[in-house]
Every structure is written in C-alpha cells, then in structure tokens.
Amino acid sequence: MHRRTFFRTGVAAGLASLTRPASVLAYEPPPIRRAGPLRLNSNENPLGLAPAARSAVIEGLTEANRYPLVAMAPLREAIARRHGTTPGHVLLGNGSTEILRVAVAAGTMGATGTLIVADPTFEDVTDYAKPFPYRTVRVPLTSGFAHDLEAMREHARQADGPAVVYLCNPNNPTATLTDCAEIESWITEAPERVFFVLDEAYFEFVDDRRYRSFDQLAVTRPNVLVVRTFSKIFGMAGLRAGYGIAHADTTARLNGYATQITPNHLAQVAALASLEDPDVIARGRAANARGRRILTDVLDELNLEHLPSHANFVMHHIPGDLRTYQRRMRERGAWVGRPFPPMLSHNRVSIGLQAEMEEFAGILREFRQKGWV
Ligand SMILES: Cc1ncc(COP(=O)(O)O)c(C=O)c1O
C-alpha cells in the first residue's frame, strides 16, 4: 500500500501498531520521580515528545532569532503528503485551536450565523463564537453518546443563512464515535451554506473499522474543514501546532483570518520530525491501550460505569457531587478533567503512563474505602 494512503485510515493506524516491533510498542520513558501532581486532566500524551522531535527542537534553537519561515514549506508539504494532497490544501495553526477559531471567525461570512454543536463537546468553538453574531444551538448527544445527526441536520435545515456545524469525532469529553457513513451522507447532501468543521484531534487512537478521516472530502468540497493536532498522539501540546485540511479556495479564505507566520519554528521542526518518525503513532497507541486497560479494569472492579473510549481519555460515572470529587482528587495529588455540563455525574480522566494509571487506580480504591465513589 502506498505510504500516504496507509497513514490516512484509522484501520491502517491499527495495523501499524500490530506490525511494529515489540520493543517499539513496549516503549515508555524511564520512570522519573514526579515532583508534581498526577496530571490526568488535559488529554496530553504522557510519553512526551518523540525522540527525533526532541533532537529537532534542540537543533532548532539556533534558528530561534529568525522568523519561522524555513521549515514552514517543508512542514506543509509533509502534512499534504500525509493526507495525499498538495500544500495549497493545508492551513497551519498555533495548535488546532487556532484553526477552530479561524473557522468560527470566517463562518458567519459577515451575516448572522447559526453554530450547531453537540452537548457536551469540546468547548473552544462555542467560546470563539462569542464575539460574533452567532446563534448557538446545542444538541444533546444521543443515548449512545454519538452526535444526534438527525437533530443537528434539522437545525441546519431551518437555519436562516450560514450555518457552522462542529463535529468532534471521537467526541471530547465522551471519547465516543459518531457514524462516519451517516456524517458523509449528510455532508454530500448539504447546501454550501452549511460549513462542516470535522475535528479529528484523536484520530490516531481509534481502532473501529468503520471510522475514517474526512480529509478527502475536505479537499474536494469547499464547505468541509478537517482539523488535526500535533498535541495528542505526537505529544506536542506545549509546543502548539495544528492544521486544517480544506479545499484550496477555503484555505485561502480562512487564511485571511489566521495569524501570520505560525506556528513557531520549534513547533514546526518538532512536527516535521514527528511525521518522519515511523514509530511514534504505534508507540503512542500501544501506551494508551495499556493505560486505558488499567483504568477501565479498576472502573469495572468498582462498578463505576464508563463510556466506551476511542481516545486517550475515559468518561466515567461518579456518584455524588463532581466538584467535591475533583477537589478531593486534587488534594490527593491527582488532577482530573474539568466539569462538562450537562454530564455532571461523570468525570473525564486522561490516560497516563502505566505506573500513573496504577497510582490512579490505587487512589480510586482508597476513595471507595472512604465511601467517596
Ligand atoms: C477535540 C479537540 N480539538 C482541539 C483541541 C485543541 O488542541 P490543540 O492543542 O491542537 O490546540 C483539543 C484539545 O484538547 C481537543 O480536545
């Protein structure tokens, strides 16, 4: 299979995990005595930067006095290759949150617009919409914690003027999937005034065979934007790099709202090195699967219901008051996810290293003994 095509599919990512040597899959950084808290609150990658990315950052420091222009074209080309397209379809951002901001800023096209999102979902999009003339419609997830596409579609149909539809798949905070075939059938029938933002931040963690990227649809349809990040599987949350894939006209239009010359040079070289590392995805997926298993085992042991996770975090039930639970966790040295209304009897935990998840399992058992969970 051609390498580009190989990288594109979720299934291919799964196969990559199976075909990498065991030493790669077993990789975890050497244990360190952690001075601070157990940080399971922001869906970060506990493995840290890929070794090649770390070296690239150190070498890249010699360019820190220059504007970040030399690595920008190679990065755009590498991303384009990854998605089987050309650099004109790639929009770079200071984290994928910048791409989301730009999509929202451009989305009303000067008129009053409707923003249609799931409830709950990742909040950045609705936050970025606040200064703009949007009417925001929050559509509860289905009983299976997927986006309620039928209801969202009806809102889009009724919207007067431009509508922006945010589909986060897998969804944050639930880590659940929405059926890609159903999304595609909506997109292919929707009028151009409906702009789809498909956030695939957790793409590489998914194993489900029915899951796939919408990158090819984004390249050909001016009303589709796929958003990706280097913060999750590539472990670069602190460096800030993300991108969008879109039709060349859309990329040009959205660029008008984007920050000039971004991301910074160190983020660019780290992203490039990460894309060139053949093991980074398999390593991250394997570590995530190990940590997630420890977590779901302890949740099962304690009879704490949890949603099926297709990402690097798990949403699980918490009896009692969520804020009290979070405060107690913090006092016990563990940071867990923020509240995600309306799911206020659920807590989101990010997956850490094996040892960290064992520590967290121990804390949960202690909480059970105290009658707190
Ligand atoms: C679904 C989703 N999209 C986007 C982002 C923003 O990521 P970035 O670090 O690339 O700005 C996050 C961060 O957690 C996220 O969960």
Q: Residue 76 domain-assigned?
A: yes
Q: Any bridge partners for residue 224, and if so which?
A: 196
What residue owns the CA closest to ligand 1's atom 6? Answer: 97
- Tell me what pLDDT residue 12 has: 54
From the CA of 229, how far away is ligand 1's center (Å)?
7
Q: Which pairing describes strands 90-93 and 242-245: parallel, antiparallel, or unpaired? A: antiparallel
From the CA of 76, how far away is ligand 1's center (Å)?
19
Q: Residue 25 domain-assigned?
A: no
Q: How large is the average pLDDT for residues 278-303?
A: 97
pLDDT, tens digit (0-9, with 9 covering 90-100), for 139-183: 999 999 999 999 999 999 999 899 999 999 999 999 999 999 999
Q: Residue 238 domain-assigned?
A: yes
Q: Residue 320 domain-assigned?
A: no
- Tell me what pLDDT residue 3 has: 41
pLDDT, tens digit (0-9, with 9 covering 90-100), for 326-340: 999 999 999 999 999
From the CA of 129, how far away is ligand 1's center (Å)?
16
Whether ligand 1 lies within 6 angstroms of the CB of 279 is answered as no
- Which band of pLDDT confidence, cut at 50, 70 and 90, is reported for residue 194? very high
What residue owns the CA closest to ligand 1's atom 2? Answer: 201
Whether ligand 1 lies within 6 angstroms of the CB of 248 is answered as no
Asked if the model's pLDDT at residue 2 lies above 50, the reply is no
Name the residue of 41, 172, 227 to mutate for ligand 1: max ligand atoms within 8 A of Cβ.
Answer: 172
Range of the domain at 241: 53-276
Ligand 1 atom with the smallest distance to the CA of 229 is 10
Name the residue of 44, 45, 92, 96 to mutate for ligand 1: max ligand atoms within 8 A of Cβ.
Answer: 96
- Tell me what pLDDT residue 8 has: 46
Cβ partners under 8 Å of residue 370, min gap 6: none
Whether ligand 1 lies within 6 angstroms of the CB of 96 is answered as yes
Q: What CATH number does the domain containing 250 carry?
A: 3.40.640.10
Q: Residue 197 domain-assigned?
A: yes
From the CA of 161, how far away is ligand 1's center (Å)?
28
- Which band of pLDDT confidence, cut at 50, 70 and 90, is reported for residue 9? very low
Q: How large is the average pLDDT for residues 251-277?
A: 96
Q: Residue 334 domain-assigned?
A: no
**pTM for the full model?**
0.94
Q: Residue 332 domain-assigned?
A: no
Whether ligand 1 lies within 6 angstroms of the CB of 97 is answered as yes
Ligand 1 atom with the smallest distance to the CA of 202 is 1
Q: Residue 39 domain-assigned?
A: no
From the CA of 301, how far away is ligand 1's center (Å)?
31
From the CA of 97, how far away is ligand 1's center (Å)?
6
Percent of the chain with pLDDT over 70: 94
**Number of domains, the chain:** 1
- Tell me what pLDDT residue 32 has: 58
pLDDT, tens digit (0-9, with 9 covering 90-100), for 79-102: 999 999 999 999 999 999 999 999
Cβ partners under 8 Å of residue 123, min gap 6: none
Whether ligand 1 lies within 6 angstroms of the CB of 41 is answered as no
